[in-house]
Structure 1
Amino acid sequence: MTSVMKNEVQMKGKFHYQLSGWKYSTGIRVLLFLLLAFGFYVSLYAKLVPQVYDIVLGTTSEKTIYAPRQIENAIATEQAKEDAAKRVQPVYRIVNLKNDTLIDAIYDKLLQINADEEVKFDDKVSIYRRVIPQLISDLENDSIKSLRASGQYNVPLLEQIQTALAEQQYQLPEESYFKLPRMTKEDLAAMRPVTKDIVAKLMNDQILDAQTVRAKVAELVNTSNLTKNTSREMVTEIARVVITPNKFFDQKGTDDAKGQARENVKPVYINKNDVLVKVGDMITEEIYARLDKLELLKDKANYLPQFGLSILAALLSLVVFMFVKQSSLPIKYNNSQLVMLILIFLINVISMKIISLVQNLDYPYIGYLAPTALGTILIAILLDAPLAFVSSVLFSLMASIIFNTEHTLLFDFRYGLVSLVICFSAVFTIQRASQRATILKAGLMIAFFSMLTITSMLLMEDHFQQKEALISLSFAAAGGLLTVVFVIGLLPFFEVAFGILSPLKLVELSNPNHPLLRKLLTETPGTYHHSVMVGNLSEAAAESIGADGLLCRVGSYYHDIGKTKRPSYFIENQTNIENPHDRIDPNLSKSIIIAHPRDGVEMLKDYKMPKPIRDIAEQHHGTTLLHYFYHKAMKQAEEEGSDKEIREEDFRYPGPKAQSKEAAIVGIADSVEAAVRSLRNPTLEQIDSMVHKIIKSRLDDGQFNECDITLKELDKIAKTLNETLLGIFHSRIEYPSELAPKKSGT
């Protein structure tokens, strides 16, 4: 290599380092993760941190303030409780005071005293004045004691019963005391059942005012079978004495009923987005207290939500950091890919935020329209499927916050669950996507699984409403199609802006109708066939070690595109023509040969081919030696007797060496295909020997020093190349097991 070429390579390397230095800077990486955490914080701020206002009590409001979340209207709730308590009717208790017992006691006493002839008439009158009221009083006291002992009646009720009995007690007329001693045994026997019947009939009703009921006694007595006027008169008076109230007002029961009615009243809420204060409204104490409770006052702002959100944002960013750190993906070191990841997160969150702006309490299910899986699909296609799974969890968590309209909790599990399901289904569908139609398929799967998940939740709800179900399912179906539109629109932008070669882009580049491939086929058919063979070999080898097989195949198609500038100087295109290298100086031949990688890179740049394809074209030869022309130059100098030094460095490719596994594999496959093709009748042993010889030669020459390929992987590559070549040349290989019968003549 000349000193001028060396300086050119050094300058290019220095310039490349200056351009790409930020891509691998630790400081930049830290800043990017801080930026990611800040993005999480900003995107969730409006949902988790209430806005505050500069409000002064007694002044007019300068703006309309809406409720940031649902809150109880304490005054309206208290008024509703009072209204419910007022609607409660007074509670009364029906109490059985055993009036039959009192009737029997009175008639027994009458029979006893009237039958005693030794007691004078006047004495009997005096006895009745004293005994009958005492019997009534004793029965009432016994009844109160019995009720108290039962434990079924509260003390205020017992007091109310005692008071009502005392206030409504009936006093026998004075003349009744003079008539009772004259009642014979037969009279009393006839009077007792009539009295019981009348009292039982009247006491069967609920009696709050005994006086009203006593007025009905005379009518019932007149319809009885008693014939004597005195007997009727005495039955009337005794019945009136015995009749008492049996329905009593229960103050405590009434209070308890009112209390229960208050407890049964559901709180009255101010819903999210309801107007709290209109422009020009006076800030009353009630409004001020309500704003204070909602933490909307600037002078009483609570900064705990900001602190909590900061922790949450840091945790979300930490999840991404830890996954990236423990992975073996290029994003672990490449800040450019990290920038792309942050940009995808930003676009996905913005799309969710836009949908949330039109979401309200009347139509909360608009949230299902959001293309939550947009970011997941882009990450799965452009970066890596496992990273897409982790991102799906974060997107789902954010969706459950952004689309939460009820604010009873920080998260609404419905949107989180639907987002998680559709994101996971999108990753499973989009993996190894090789056609744009796969994105449409992913959109259909998103719509299907979103509708399926929503249906399952609706069926488990207590109140299933058909209208809500139809609206939700419609938004879910539209969300899947919207996701497809955004992905197809954004994918080319990321591919161009970040030089990403997605599987979809690689498949497009492998189309034989691509201008460069048509040029390769028409102008250098031998090189085209060689490139296709190298593509088959390199793809199989790459997949055996987990490298990008599709990139190797497509890179192989373009790796020798530089040969189209001077096709006749390459042996695979020298069909039925003289080899022009036989007539020119080996140094000129060397210059022509080693120029094809550089020419190829220039052509690929003109056609704006992605950098990984250009790198394979530039690096597939590395800095290997052109053995044929090197030895030819030495032989020519020896024959001419020249003293000019023939240096090996001057007959090497300018490089650079392979920087990736894919470039190293294409270089090995390129050499192996050319070497095996030169064999007339290759055998298994020859192919195996040739493959190992080429790999060992490149290994010893240090061609793999700048890529992360391992000896174990080189061994797998050799084994895979042998198997693939066996399939390609099987018709030309002589198998020892088939040769034996021929030699034996059988």
Structure 2
Amino acid sequence: MNQNGTSKQATVKTAKIQGWRQSPAVRWTLMAMFVLLFYISLAPHVIPETYDIAEGSVSEKDIKAPFQIRDDKATRQAEEEAANRIEDSYKIVPMKNEFLVEQILFRIEQLNMDDQVTNQNKIDIYRTEIPGRYTEHIDTFVKMNIGKGTYSDTLLEEMSRVAKEQKYVIPEETFYKMPQLTMEQLNDMRKVAMNIVKKLTIEQLREAETARTQVAELVNASSLSNRTAREIVQELARFTIMPNKFLDKEATEEARVLAKQNTPPVVIKEGDIFVKRGQTITPELYKLLSDSNLLQDKKHYWPQMGLLILSFMFIIAIYVYLHQSGGINGLKPRYGNAQLLMLWLIYLINTITIQIMGFTQTDTASYVGFLAPAALGAMLITLLLDMHLAIISSFIFAIMGSIILNTHSSQLFDFRYGFFIMVVSLAAVFAIHRASQRSAILKAGIMVSLFGSIAVLAMLLMSEQLDRMPLIYSVSFAFASGLLTAVLVIGLMPFFEVTFGILSALKLVELSNPNHPLLRKLLTETPGTYHHSVMVGNLAEAAAETIGADGLLCRVGSYYHDIGKTKRPNYFIENQSNMENPHDTIDPKLSKSIIVAHARDGSEMLKAHNIPKPIRDIAEQHHGTTSLKYFYHKALKQAEEQGIEPNFTENDFRYPGPKAQSKEAAIVGIADCIEAAVRSLRNPTVEHVEAMINKIIKSRLDDNQYNECDLTLKELDKVAQSLKESIIGIFHSRIEYPDDAKAKEGTN
């Protein structure tokens, strides 16, 4: 009763474990954990950091610019300073004032020749008409040039205003002297006055008074001898001299606008501290923080949405591959929840190692990122799971690394690190996927170092970054990355193998070493069983490889599948050389108990020696629930001889199971039975061997021994053909071929 209770508890516990491994709820939880891992690891590098700061408060920390930020206030100030440095633009506007002198003298000449006009009238005319000619001359010039394009309207307006403001007032007594001028005097005055005005207005004049001060000297040095003529010429010259250099407001404004436009914006460089700890947040700083989306009240919905989409794209790529590999649906998936959890842990570890290198990077030492052991994840996935899954993961790691190791916030990805991680990851996958010894990991690490260094060197040469020290550091760190990867893989492999019961190719090769304590025990205590196990391993490995199963697992599992026989070696026929069979003298039921116990005993011995579960499963499941017909019939015969009714059935003479749960366990069971059967044949022929193989497989198939594993009938045919070819090769000297058998019959 107690045994039944214990058995039921063990069954329930096993069912719970199996339920966890295949539970859809657990599977989708792990998928969500992948999305969470991708999002959390990339969020700090994609979503800007925000600060809880209010206007007028004091900053509790230094705030660095996450990217290049335009300082609008400083930019406007710089533009104003640039505009203020632009001097006023002046333009020369020659109005030919000497013609104005000529017109005035001509008018004086006309009036002086007119005897009908009295001197007083002449004086009144001069007093009113001559000052008007100054304004008229200016207005006429503006009218003639406006709209012509030679001078802008604003310039003509400025010229008119300034010239009129600087108008010279002729003294009143000068008008009284003008009627006294003779024709001869006027002719002499015309020439002198025009020359003086022309000479003084050739130079640039912003102030007419500057030139007017020189008039007296020039008049005195002229040929005029009459005092009155000199006085009048002097006043007329001063009157007709105007400024000819005027402020061009439009050109000045255009120049200043252009200066503002050409002023480069003032920016806060990426990584620069623009808010110091203890600094008061002014309205300008607060606006700058707000415009840069650095305040917590700013919701970064779009970056979050983009990152979430990217995270889902990553998990979809993994899901699609697992689905196509039979790892999501199906009775016995290739990748269950345990493998998915292990894959998540590998992604976590690989991401953490990249993040660590990302934290050590600086703007001046960004090459530290090449030290990241980014090939770690790809190498572990190749060794523990699958090469093709590792290739897919390599591209995911490359994208993640190009974001995490990016030191330029102005861009989302840094292709240098993405390319580097892709190269080293793929190099790791192809260098390690056929590894059979631990030393192969170090060799693969060296290959990763070489390819990583070459990739970094190629990128730096193409980008013409030939600075000596950064180049040396970058290549050196890339080389060290491969060695660091190998060390971490060697250290982490036992953790995954023990925690998840993973049988990597490296572990299987180690377990196949004849010096293993259990194999040495098998060899020394049960040499017949040892030889049988080796033969079964050869048969099972070849058969497994024909259907895509794990041939190496079949071979190593075969080595250990009968380890339980070492407890009672003499009760198994292969170890009974030169001795009587002890089963001849004991009850068939006891014989049955001894025989079937070797499967359970073997599993317990393997568990005690920490042999991984897949091998323990092969030892426990290789007989399934098959019947020991020999002892069953022997028991029937004894009951018949004793004249009693049998109190047992054939089911009492069956192995306790369980049935084979994997292709590998089923194949080892078939190879085990067939090897023993072939060895029992005295004169086997090809027909006998083929018939025997088909009979054994059909018998187990009819007995429903393969109902709990995913072997198909097509795969069973391939297994049978492989076993036939292997047996013929192994027992070549004993097996008679059809032609040999016919020749032998002829001689008889």
Normalising by structure 2, report the TM-score.
Answer: 0.79
Q: Tell me, in whole angstroms, the C-alpha distance in 1 between the residues paired with 2:211 and 2:333.
A: 97
Letter aligned with residue 15 of structure 1: K
1:442 aligns to what SS in structure 2? Answer: helix
1:595 and 2:597 equivalent?
yes
The aligned residue for residue 224 of structure 1 is: none
1:272 and 2:264 equivalent?
no
The aligned residue for residue 83 of structure 1 is: 81
The aligned residue for residue 576 of structure 2 is: 574
Identity of aligned residues (%): 50
Question: Using a 3 Å threshold, how does the CA distance of structure 1 residues 289 and 242 change in structure 2: closer, same or farther?
Answer: same
Q: Tell me, in whole angstroms, the C-alpha distance in 1 between the residues paired with 2:79 and 2:510.
A: 71
Q: Tell me, in whole angstroms, the C-alpha distance in 1 between the residues paired with 2:211 and 2:101.
A: 22
The aligned residue for residue 223 of structure 1 is: none
Of the three residues 419, 429, 454, the one matched with 1:427 is 429
Question: Using a 3 Å threshold, how does the CA distance of structure 1 residues 180 and 548 change in structure 2: closer, same or farther?
Answer: farther
Letter aligned with residue 290 of structure 1: L
What are the superposed Cα offsets for residues 104-158 of structure 1, whole Å, 9 maximum, x if unpaired?
Answer: x99999xxx9xxxx999959xx99x99x99998799569836xx545x8654355
2:726 aligns to what SS in structure 1? Answer: helix
What pairs up with 1:708-727 in 2 under 5 angstroms? 708-727=710-729
Q: What's the offset of the Cα at 1:678?
A: 2.9
The aligned residue for residue 550 of structure 2 is: 548
Q: Tell me, in whole angstroms, the C-alpha distance in 2 between the residues paired with 1:388 and 1:550.
A: 20
Of the three residues 554, 558, 561, the one matched with 1:559 is 561
Q: Tell me, in whole angstroms, the C-alpha distance in 2 between the residues paired with 1:482 and 1:625.
A: 54
Residues 64 and 275 in structure 1, CA contact (< 8 A), matched pair in contact too:
no
Q: What's the offset of the Cα at 1:92?
A: 4.8
Q: What's the offset of the Cα at 1:36?
A: 3.4
Question: Using a 3 Å threshold, how does the CA distance of structure 1 residues 598 and 254 change in structure 2: closer, same or farther?
Answer: same
Q: What's the offset of the Cα at 1:628?
A: 2.8
What pairs up with 1:610-689 in 2 under 5 angstroms? 610-645=612-647, 647-689=649-691
What are the superposed Cα offsets for residues 191-247 of structure 1, whole Å, 9 maximum, x if unpaired?
Answer: x9x99xx99xx97x9988899899999999xxxxxx9999xx9xx999999999987
Root-mean-square deviation (Å):
5.0
What pairs up with 1:115-264 in 2 under 5 angstroms? 144=145, 149=148, 154-157=152-155, 159=157, 250-263=248-261, 264=263
Residues 84 and 265 in structure 1, CA contact (< 8 A), matched pair in contact too:
no
Question: Using a 3 Å threshold, how does the CA distance of structure 1 residues 740 and 470 change in structure 2: closer, same or farther?
Answer: same
Residues 65 and 268 in structure 2, CA contact (< 8 A), matched pair in contact too:
no
Residues 32 and 338 in structure 1, CA contact (< 8 A), matched pair in contact too:
yes
Letter aligned with residue 144 of structure 1: N
1:16 and 2:14 equivalent?
yes
Letter aligned with residue 714 of structure 1: L
Residues 619 and 656 in structure 1, CA contact (< 8 A), matched pair in contact too:
yes
Q: What's the offset of the Cα at 1:609?
A: 0.3
Of the three residues 346, 349, 352, the one matched with 1:347 is 349
Q: Tell me, in whole angstroms, the C-alpha distance in 2 between the residues paired with 1:243 and 1:740.
A: 144
Residues 367 and 473 in structure 2, CA contact (< 8 A), matched pair in contact too:
yes
Letter aligned with residue 28 of structure 1: V
What pairs up with 1:61-100 in 2 under 5 angstroms? 61=59, 63-67=60-64, 69-70=66-67, 71-86=69-84, 88-90=85-87, 92=89
What are the superposed Cα offsets for residues 578-602 of structure 1, whole Å, 9 maximum, x if unpaired?
Answer: 4333444433333322221112112
Q: Tell me, in whole angstroms, the C-alpha distance in 2 between the residues paired with 1:248 and 1:358.
A: 64
Q: Tell me, in whole angstroms, the C-alpha distance in 2 between the residues paired with 1:676 and 1:153.
A: 117
Q: What's the offset of the Cα at 1:543?
A: 1.5
Q: Tell me, in whole angstroms, the C-alpha distance in 2 between the residues paired with 1:677 and 1:238.
A: 145
Q: Tell me, in whole angstroms, the C-alpha distance in 2 between the residues paired with 1:635 and 1:477.
A: 75
Question: Using a 3 Å threshold, how does the CA distance of structure 1 residues 94 and 422 change in structure 2: closer, same or farther?
Answer: farther
Q: What's the offset of the Cα at 1:341?
A: 2.4
Residues 135 and 164 in structure 2, CA contact (< 8 A), matched pair in contact too:
no
Residues 400 and 416 in structure 1, CA contact (< 8 A), matched pair in contact too:
yes
Residues 272 and 405 in structure 1, CA contact (< 8 A), matched pair in contact too:
no
Residues 379 and 428 in structure 2, CA contact (< 8 A), matched pair in contact too:
yes
Residues 326 and 335 in structure 2, CA contact (< 8 A), matched pair in contact too:
no
Structure 1, 172-181 or 419-428: larger mean CA deviation: 172-181
Question: Using a 3 Å threshold, how does the CA distance of structure 1 residues 135 and 162 change in structure 2: closer, same or farther?
Answer: closer
Residues 172 and 237 in structure 1, CA contact (< 8 A), matched pair in contact too:
yes
Q: Tell me, in whole angstroms, the C-alpha distance in 1 between the residues paired with 2:325 and 2:292.
A: 44
The aligned residue for residue 120 of structure 2 is: none
Q: What's the offset of the Cα at 1:357?
A: 2.4
Question: Using a 3 Å threshold, how does the CA distance of structure 1 residues 168 and 433 change in structure 2: closer, same or farther?
Answer: farther
Structure 1, 155-164 or 321-330: larger mean CA deviation: 155-164
Letter aligned with residue 276 of structure 2: V
Q: What's the offset of the Cα at 1:719?
A: 1.9
Structure 1, 412-421 or 165-174: larger mean CA deviation: 165-174
Q: What's the offset of the Cα at 1:9?
A: 5.3
Residues 387 and 429 in structure 2, CA contact (< 8 A), matched pair in contact too:
yes
Residues 24 and 334 in structure 1, CA contact (< 8 A), matched pair in contact too:
yes
1:407 aligns to what SS in structure 2? Answer: coil
What are the superposed Cα offsets for residues 12-57 of structure 1, whole Å, 9 maximum, x if unpaired?
Answer: 3233113443333333333333333333343334334455554443
The aligned residue for residue 287 of structure 1 is: 285
Letter aligned with residue 45 of structure 2: K
The aligned residue for residue 58 of structure 1 is: 56
Q: Tell me, in whole angstroms, the C-alpha distance in 1 between the residues paired with 2:592 and 2:523.
A: 24
Q: What's the offset of the Cα at 1:495?
A: 0.9
What pairs up with 1:359-508 in 2 under 5 angstroms? 359-461=361-463, 465-508=467-510
Q: What's the offset of the Cα at 1:478?
A: 2.7
Question: Using a 3 Å threshold, how does the CA distance of structure 1 residues 586 and 79 change in structure 2: closer, same or farther?
Answer: same
Letter aligned with residue 384 of structure 1: D
The aligned residue for residue 357 of structure 1 is: 359
Residues 93 and 245 in structure 2, CA contact (< 8 A), matched pair in contact too:
no
Question: Using a 3 Å threshold, how does the CA distance of structure 1 residues 46 and 740 change in structure 2: closer, same or farther?
Answer: same
Residues 531 and 560 in structure 1, CA contact (< 8 A), matched pair in contact too:
yes
Residues 48 and 294 in structure 2, CA contact (< 8 A), matched pair in contact too:
yes
Structure 1 residue ranges, 4+ long, deviating more than 6 angstroms after superposition: 3-8, 93-99, 105-109, 118-121, 132-139, 161-181, 205-220, 227-230, 236-248, 330-333, 737-745
Question: Using a 3 Å threshold, how does the CA distance of structure 1 residues 563 and 141 change in structure 2: closer, same or farther?
Answer: same
Q: Tell me, in whole angstroms, the C-alpha distance in 2 between the residues paired with 1:181 and 1:136.
A: 21
Q: Tell me, in whole angstroms, the C-alpha distance in 2 between the residues paired with 1:95 and 1:547.
A: 98
- Unpaired segments of 5 or more residues in structure 1? 221-226
Structure 1, 665-674 or 285-294: larger mean CA deviation: 285-294
Question: Using a 3 Å threshold, how does the CA distance of structure 1 residues 742 and 26 change in structure 2: closer, same or farther?
Answer: closer
Q: Tell me, in whole angstroms, the C-alpha distance in 2 between the residues paired with 1:456 and 1:163.
A: 71
1:302 and 2:299 equivalent?
yes
Normalising by structure 1, report the TM-score.
Answer: 0.79
Residues 633 and 646 in structure 1, CA contact (< 8 A), matched pair in contact too:
no
What are the superposed Cα offsets for residues 399-438 of structure 1, whole Å, 9 maximum, x if unpaired?
Answer: 3333333322444444334333333333333323322233
Structure 1, 514-523 or 262-271: larger mean CA deviation: 262-271
Letter aligned with residue 57 of structure 1: E
The aligned residue for residue 121 of structure 2 is: none
The aligned residue for residue 535 of structure 2 is: 533
Residues 90 and 250 in structure 1, CA contact (< 8 A), matched pair in contact too:
no
Question: Using a 3 Å threshold, how does the CA distance of structure 1 residues 251 and 594 change in structure 2: closer, same or farther?
Answer: same
2:326 aligns to what SS in structure 1? Answer: coil
Residues 517 and 558 in structure 1, CA contact (< 8 A), matched pair in contact too:
yes
Question: Using a 3 Å threshold, how does the CA distance of structure 1 residues 238 and 636 change in structure 2: closer, same or farther?
Answer: farther
- Count of aligned pairs between the two proteins: 717
Residues 65 and 269 in structure 2, CA contact (< 8 A), matched pair in contact too:
no
